[in-house]
Structure 1
Amino acid sequence: MSSLREVAAVAGVSRMTVSNVINGHHHKVSAATIARVRQVIADLEYVPDAQARSLAANRSRMIGMVIHHPDERRDLLENPHDAILLGAVERAATAHGFSLITASSADVVTTARAVGSWRTDGLIVYGSVADEINELERTQARPLVFLDNYSRQARVHVVGVDDHHGGKTAGQHLIELGHRRLAFAGPLGSTDGVVARRLAGLRSAVAAAPHVEITQVVSADHGPCAAARVAERLLTGTNRPSAVIAASDTLAGELVGELLDRSVDVPGQMSVVGFDDTAISRWMRPQLTSVSQDIPAKASIAVDLLIRLIEGEPHEEAGSPARLPMVLVPRQSTAPPPTT
């Protein structure tokens, strides 16, 4: 097995220079030298001693990711969005030379404390609500970055998407198709979270359009029979909607199936829109109209930000959350409403 001494000898540099390249201290080394050392490392298949690197830098080179998981009866990565996000965070961390430790729980504060016991250099918290920010910051001395949080506090580092605009865009799409009675379905537990913002965006689109109303707002998670309950609600009553926006592709896809099972044609009798534009939207038939977000970009920005904070670099945008755009992708599940 190759050693650091051999890498230095072949590259024609000192062992300290090799160490600086491995540990990311690139301000001390020229770009040409960094490239040469990296090439020698690859040629010799040199694997740095992670424990030695950690001790030398007084860092673990590990970051933690805490995932809010309210229902342990359901699979953690049941929602494709969450699976894509976790994979993207792991890839971004690895690209920076960090390892990723993940943990999930309904209690993100306690879980964050447990992950911190692994000497992680920083934490990404996904799925927390704004009210948990104070407790997390009080109990964590390490840098924190929050994904999809709507805290209004200054100096809080948040990365997410523009959920309000996403909901508004979905509503405008249906209104432009001629729909006048709309519905919304999703987990409505938080009054200031992702789903609440998407519903608020839909409400703003409806408020700007004459003779358009939201006839039903149905609270539904992604658990068993949730889509069946939504379908029953939508089809009950005299003021039945002609289109429904679901807060995720998972719920929307299951809802399309439930509607078809009840002989409700999609989109002929009911249009359906989802969120996140995951693979589900392209696999199902009819293909699902969905509001897309760039999940890998969201993950990459969060990891980049966290590592800058770990390295002590100033972050001028603290308190100004990074909100990536959401874009509607029309497909087969939306069409003009039935004429009768």
Structure 2
Amino acid sequence: MTDARPHIGLMFPATGPESLAPWGHDGEYLAALDDEVRRRGMRLVLCGTRRAADIPDIADDLHGVVLMGYHDNELDALPQLGARAVAVDGYSERDDLMIVRSDDHEGGRRAGELLTSRGHRELVLVGPDAHDNGAMRARAAGFERAARAAGVSTIHRHVSTGTSLREGTLIGRMLPTRHPSATAVFATTDTLAAGVVEGLGQAGARVPDDVSVVGYDNLALASLVTPKLSTVAQNVARKARLTIDLLVDPDHSGPLVTEVVVLERATVAPPAPHR
């Protein structure tokens, strides 16, 4: 029997086994989006693509399209889509593409403000290359703004290729050797931050006694790791609701930006006197 319910397609780059890791932001957003779609009597279809150029052909058969994980330059290069489309965490300026994202710049600023207010003056910023990722670029810019406002002149950048726990762990292991005088880390996702905490421990550094760590997202993971992760919280469930609002109501337009708050848990403390 043919399913007559409107079909919403969640499209994402199918780059590997962690494309939709359940412990990451995309996994939590997927769960929230599925709840919202079912609540409104629609059906969610997952559509992994090997390349962004495949999006238009798939989108034509759907009532609406949610694009997650694609770089803005990839989206800018696409022809006009046949279905209404929302880019999650996007910064594309296309007129036919609606946007839902958190207040990334403010979130990064608040992370920097938290660490500098505790007395940290040599900081490390960990995250993917911000050149082609608007969300990471905004978070980094907000963090650097707070650091400058506090008179901090030293921010070490450690560029990751992704946002996985595994990569965060590898970076955490390196940090005490590469930046021995740094006392605080801001990682632009919780998965990276949790990995950094693990890697620092493996390298013999104590969190937060030797190094403080702040993440971004407030995933379930943040309250499960030890010590519990301080983070910038965004409202993933509200992002999912706003996404469907944009797809089903032609009177809505974007970008729609959700609020952020800082949750200080156990991974932030003032620098130790010997540092």
Taking structure 2 as the reference length, the TM-score comes to 0.90
* 1:157 equivalent among 98, 105, 111: 98
SS of corresponding position for 1:235: helix
Q: 5 Å matches for 1:186-335?
A: 186-188=127-129, 190-223=131-164, 225-237=166-178, 240-308=181-249, 313-315=250-252, 318=253, 320-335=254-269
In structure 2, which of residues 25, 34, 37 is the aligned counterpart of residue 81 of structure 1?
25
Which structure would you say has the larger Rg? Answer: 1
Cα distance change of structure 1 residues 215 and 75 upon mapping to structure 2, 3 Å threshold: closer
Aligned positions of 1:124-203 closer than 5 A: 124-138=66-80, 140-154=81-95, 156-188=97-129, 190-203=131-144
Q: Specify whether residues 239 and 224 from structure 1 end up closer, same or farther in structure 2 by C-alpha distance, changes over 3 A only.
A: closer
Higher relative contact order (CA 8 A, sep 6+): 2
1:263 is displaced (CA, Å) by 1.7
Q: Percent identity?
A: 28
Structure 2 gap segments, 5+ residues each? none
How far 1:154 sits from its partner (Å)?
A: 4.0
More strand by share: 2
What is the CA distance between 1:106 and its match in structure 2?
4.2
> In 2 relative to 1, CA 120–154 (structure 1 residues): closer, same or farther, beyond 3 Å?
closer
1:212 Cα offset (Å): 4.2
Q: Please point out which of 109, 112, 130 is paired with 2:53.
A: 109
Checking the alignment, whether the CA contact within 8 Å between 2:65 and 2:84 is kept in structure 1 is yes
Q: Could you tell me how far apart the structure 2 residues matched to 1:224 and 1:74 are?
A: 10
Query: Which residue is 1:28 aligned to?
Result: none
How many Å separate the matches in 2 of 1:195 and 1:219?
11
Conserved 8 A contact 2:73-2:132: no
Deviation at 1:166, TM superposition (A): 0.6
Taking a change above 3 Å as real, the CA distance of residues 182 and 123 of structure 1, as seen in their structure-2 partners, is same
* Aligned residue in 2 for 1:63: 8
Structure 1 length normalisation: TM-score?
A: 0.74
Over aligned residues, Cα RMSD in angstroms? 2.2
User: How far is the alpha carbon of 1:235 from its aligned partner?
Assistant: 1.4
What letter is aligned with 1:120? L
- Deviation by residue 1:127-150 (Cα, 9 ceiling, x = unmatched): 222223344442x21111111100
Gaps of 5+ in 1: 1-48, 55-59
User: CA 1:144–1:266 in 2, change beyond 3 Å: closer, same or farther?
Assistant: same
Aligned equivalents of 1:134 and 1:121: distance in 2?
21
Q: What's the CA shift for 1:155?
A: 5.0
1:50 CA drift (Å): 5.9
SS of 1:144's partner is: strand
Render the CA deviation track for 1:176-229: whole Å, top value 9, x for unaligned.
000000101112164342112111111111121214421333324245752343
